[in-house]
Amino acid sequence: MLRTVSILAEPHRILDAWCDMAVQQQILDGIADLQSGDGYASQWRLHLPLDRHIALNYRRGEARLGEWVRYEGSGEHGLQLQTELSVRPAPNGFGCETLLAVEYRVEGGPLAQAAAKLVGAAPDAVVATVLRRFKAWVECGEVPTLRDNPSARERDQPRD
């Protein structure tokens, strides 16, 4: 899966933010929970449909200063995950074109393959969400949320 977005920032700032655990936790909120680790090696608990979870060991691989960084992960049920975030100056010279490439596979028997099919097109939607949140964090310093927005309040609460 490939997703591209323009981000108004310098390449080093984008790549540094991508490797920052605090940023990763914010952009993965509701998708995965950090169990332990740092920007080089970490353990995550991924949320799956039907209130299921899977453990993932995620580690930083190769990187080229100012150009790209790769991460690799392995998890339960033969899950293999590779991600690469690459940046280059935008064609108009305004910000950077940022490309997130995600490849995953589930190795294993028929049960593992069936579980992977349950997810369906969801990984593409997750990649889009992660990149959108990341862009917001780099450009604005925070990930947008409705958590404290009055319009996100419970509907059964009395109005003033």
Domain segments of the chain: what residues?
2-141
Residue 60 backbone phi and psi in degrees, to 5:
-75, 135
Average pLDDT value for residue range 16-20: 96
**Start-end of H helices in the chain:** 11-18, 21-27, 110-119, 122-140
- Provide the pLDDT for residue 114: 59
- Provide the pLDDT for residue 22: 94
pLDDT classification of 92: cutoffs 50, 70, 90: confident
- Provide the pLDDT for residue 106: 80
Strands 96-106 and 32-37, how do they pair? unpaired
CATH number for domain 2-141, candidates 3.30.530.20, 3.90.1010.10, 3.40.50.300, 3.30.2130.30: 3.30.530.20
pLDDT classification of 111: cutoffs 50, 70, 90: low
Q: Write out the E strands in the chain.
A: 2-7, 32-37, 41-48, 52-64, 68-75, 79-89, 96-106
- Provide the pLDDT for residue 6: 96
- Provide the pLDDT for residue 135: 97
* DSSP character at residue 107: -
Q: What mean pLDDT value characterizes the chain?
A: 86
pTM for the whole thing? 0.83
